[in-house]
Structure 1
Amino acid sequence: MDQVSVVCRRRHLSPRTEQAYRFWIRRYIHFHNRQHPRAVGPVGIVGFVNHLASVGRVAASTQSQALNALLFLYRDVLEVEVGHLGELRRVQRRDRLPVVLSADEVSAALGQMEGTTAPMAHLLYGSGLRVTECMTLRIKDVDLKAGLIHVRAGKGGKDRSTILPGRLQRSLQRQLLRVASLHRQDVARGAGFAPLPNALERKYPGASQSLAWQFLFPSRVVRCCPQTGRRLRWHASESGVQTAFKAALQQAGVAKHASVHTLRHSFATHLLAAGTDIRTIQLLLGHRNLKTTMIYTHVEQEVRKTVSPLDGLDMR
C-alpha cells in the first residue's frame, strides 16, 4: 500500500483520490482472499466489479471509482499490462437533476445557522464553493478589498477565483481577526504552524508559521506532526458544517432531501435565473466541461413560474 501512495504522489493525485484508491485496492485484496494482486492478475478485476454491482449494489459513480483504482493499481503501480480490460466501460450515470433550494428556503435555513458554521454555510451559497474548498481556504485566499475568493487546488487540482458576497465582508473580517488572535496565542505557546502543500515547507521554511498560510476556519485542536515534530493546526472538519446545516434545514421546516452541497447547486441555479450567462457560471464553479454546468439550465427551467393548464380552466 505504501507503493500505491508513492505513485499517487508522484502523479500529483489529490489526497482524497489517494485515500479512495487505497480503500478499493484493500477491498480488492480481501475479496481475493488476501492474495497479492500480481498473483490474481488483472482478470480478477471483472469478478470484483461484478460483485460490487450485483451483491453490493453500489452506485454507478462508486463502481467507476473502484474500476479506476484497480486499473491504476495494475497499470501504474504494478506496471502490468491489462489488455482489453482497459476498455471496460464505465457505468453510465443516470441523468438526475440536482436538488435546489428556493431563495426563501436558503434564507430560512441560513437564518438558523449560528457560530462558526454560519459564515461557512454563507460562503458555500454566496460563492458557490465545494465544502472541501471552503474548509481549506487560507487567510491569503480571501481578498476583502477586491471582493474575491481564490480557490487553490480545487477539484482536478485547478485554481480559480469566485465572488465574495458584499454582505459577508464584516463577518469575514471578524473571522480573520479571530484567526489572527488565535495564531498569536499559538505562536506564544511554541506552535502556530499550518500544514503546507507539496514541498513548499522546504522552499519557504517560514511560511508555515506565517498568518497568511493559516486556515480561515481552523481546527479547535493542535496536532503534532510525526515527521517534523511541529504542532500543527489544521482546518475545521467538514462534518461540523454538514451536521449544522442538516439541523438548520429541519428547524426551518425545509422538507427537501438536501445537503450542504445543495447550497452550491442553488448558487448556480439562482445566478442563472437572475440572468448570469452560463459561461460565467462555469468559471465561478470551476467546471472543466460546459456540459456539467448546462444541467442548471434544466433546473432553472423547472423553477420558473410556468402556469399550469389547470389554472386556466373555468371551473365556476
Structure 2
Amino acid sequence: MRFEKAAESWFGKAAADWKESTLAKYRALLRKHLLPAFGGMEAEGIGTGDVRDFAERELSGFSISARRFALSTLSRILQFSLPAELFRALEFPKGGKVRKGKADSLLPGELAALIRTLEGNKNPKRENTAHVLLLIAFTGMRLGEACALRLSDFDFVRNTVRIHATLERLPVENGGTADGAKGKARTALRLLPAKTASGEREIPIPEKLLARLKEMAAENPPEAPLTTRDPRTLQNHFKKFLKAAGISKDAHIHTLRHTFATHSLSAGADLKTLSATLGHASTHTTLDLYVHPTFESKRRLQEAFRLFIAHPEKWGRQGDDADWGEGFGKGRPFG
C-alpha cells in the first residue's frame, strides 16, 4: 500500500472525533510535509534511513514540539498500515523533550507598570485593545477566548462573563483566500467551540473593567463582538504597550495568562479554583504549564528551612530517630 493511501485510511479513522482545529493541524502537516516526502512510496518500503533523512531535511528548523508532532504522526500512520514486525524494526529520531512552562511571567513590578499604561492609554486607536488586554490580565483567559466574546456573554447582574468559544487562525485548504485579503492566504480566522468541556466556564468580571464594559453594552447591540481586532493586531499593540511601560522582556499576550496563574498561586489562591478559572480539566495541567516558583518563593523556602534547622524543637520529636518529614509543610509554625 502506498503511503498516501495509508495516510488517507488512517486519517479517516483517527479524525472521527477530532475538532476542526485538530483536523486543520493534521491536514496541514500531511499536505505540506508528509505526503510530499513519502506519498509515492510503498509504506512497507519506508525504512529507518528514510525517516532519519526526512527528519534532518524537513524538520531541522522546526520547534521541538512541532518536530515531535510530525514524527509522532508519521509513526502512527506507519503503525496503522504496517505489519507489527516491520513497524517494530523502524527507529524514529528523538523529537526532543518539550520544556513545559518555558515562557517567563512578568514580574510584579512589570505587571503593575503595564496595567498603569493600559489604564492610562489616551490613544483612541488602541482603546479597545487596552480593555481586552486588561480583561486577559485580570482573568487569565486565552487570547482566542477574548476575541470570541460577544457583549451578550457578559452578565451585568451577576457581574460575570461566560466563555464558550475561541477564535483561532487555521490553515486554509488549497491556499484559498481568507480574511478579505487579496490573493491567496495560508490561514483564516475561524470561530470554534471551546476545546474541552472545562473550557466552557463562567468567571467574575474584574471590577476595574465593569464600568467600561457596561458602557460598551449600552452603546452596541448584544451580538456585537468585544473586539473587532485581529489577534495579530492585538499582539502588535501589546508590544507597543510593553515598550510604553518600559518593559524590555520578549513577552506575548499569552504571557499575561502565565503571569495571572503564577502570581495568583503565589498570592495564596486555591489551586482548584485557579485551574477552573483558567479552563483546565486538571490541576496538574495548571501546575505543569503555567505555575512555576518565583524567586521570592524560593527565598521564602530557604528561610523556612533555615528556621527549621535553627529551631527543631518546634517540629516535635528530636534525636537521631526523629521523623524529619513529620509535619513538614503542614502549617506555618514560623509565622
Normalising by the residue count of structure 1, what TM-score does the alignment of the two structures yield? 0.65
Q: 1:263 to 1:95 in 2, by over 3 A?
A: closer
Q: CA deviation at 1:292?
A: 2.6
SS at match of 2:217: helix
Q: Which amino acid aligns with 1:154?
A: A
- Given that 1:242 and 1:259 are in contact with CA atoms closer than 8 Å, whether structure 2 keeps it comes out as yes
Task: Determine which of 125, 129, 136 is the counterpart of 1:124.
Answer: 136
2 CA distance for matches of 1:132 and 1:40? 43
Whether 2:265 is the aligned partner of 1:255: answer: no
The answer to whether structure 1 residue 99 and structure 2 residue 104 are counterparts is yes
Are 1:278 and 2:271 counterparts?
A: yes
- 8 Å CA contact retained: 1:71, 1:82: no
Question: Which residue number corresponds to residue 31 of structure 1?
Answer: 37
SS at match of 2:292: helix
Asked if 1 retains the 8 angstrom alpha-carbon contact of 2:64 and 2:97, the reply is yes
Residue 119 of structure 1 aligns to which amino acid in structure 2? H
- More moved, 277-286 vs 79-88: 79-88
2:226 alignment counterpart: 216
Q: CA deviation at 1:138?
A: 2.7
Q: Is the 8 A contact 2:155 2:161 kept in 1?
A: yes
SS of the residue 1:215 aligns to: coil
Q: Which residue of structure 2 aligns with residue 64 of structure 1? A: 68
Q: What secondary structure sits across from 1:132 in the alignment? A: helix
Q: Equivalences for 1:209-248 in 2 at 5 Å?
A: 211-212=222-223, 214-218=224-228, 236-248=229-241
Equivalent position SS for 2:250: coil
Q: CA deviation at 1:286?
A: 1.7
Letter in 2 for 1:28: L
Structure 1 position 179, deviation (Å): 3.6
Tell me the CA shift for residue 42 of structure 1. 9.4
Q: Deviations over 1:99-152 (max 9, x none)?
A: 111233223224145321111101111111111111112333222322322221
Find the aligned partners of 1:164 and 1:274 in 2 and give their Cα distance.
Answer: 19
CA drift at 1:58: 2.0
Quick check: which has more Rg, 1 or 2? Answer: 2
**Does structure 2 conserve the Cα–Cα contact (< 8 Å) formed by 1:131 and 1:238?**
yes
Asked whether the 8 Å contact 1:139–1:176 carries over to 2, the reply is yes
Displacement, 1:246? Answer: 0.7
Q: Is the 8 A contact 1:139 1:215 kept in 2?
A: yes
Structure 1 pair 42–137 and aligned structure 2 pair: CA distance change class (3 A): farther
SS of 1:298's equivalent? coil
- Give the direction of change, closer, same or farther, for the CA distance of 1:298–1:216 in structure 2 (3 Å limit): closer
Equivalenced residues, count:
254
When the two structures are superposed, what TM-score results if normalisation uses the length of structure 2?
Answer: 0.62
Distance 1:62 1:173 in 2: 42
Is the contact made by 2:258 and 2:291 (CA closer than 8 Å) also made in structure 1? Answer: no
Partner of 1:298: 292
Equivalence for 1:136: 148
Instruction: Give the superposition deviation at 1:178.
Output: 4.2
User: Which residue of structure 2 aligns with residue 150 of structure 1?
Assistant: 162
- Number of the residue aligned with 1:312: none
- Equivalent position amino acid for 1:215 in 2: P
Cα distance in structure 1, aligned partners of 2:158 and 2:12: 39
Once residues 37 and 302 of structure 1 are traced to their aligned partners in structure 2, the CA distance between those partners, rounded to angstroms, is 55
What CA distance in whole angstroms lies between the structure 1 residues aligned with 2:227 and 2:212?
A: 12
Mapped partners of 1:162, 1:16: distance in 2: 25
- Verify the 8 A CA contact 2:44 2:82 in the aligned structure 1: no
CA gap of 1:156–1:57, structure 2 versus 1, over 3 A, is farther
**RMSD value, Cα:** 3.8
CA distance in 2, matches of 1:132, 1:279: 23
Q: Is there any run of 5+ residues in structure 2 with no aligned partner, and where? A: 165-192, 304-335
Kept after mapping to 2: 8 A contact 1:249/1:255: yes
Show the counterpart of 1:159: 200
Give % identity: 23
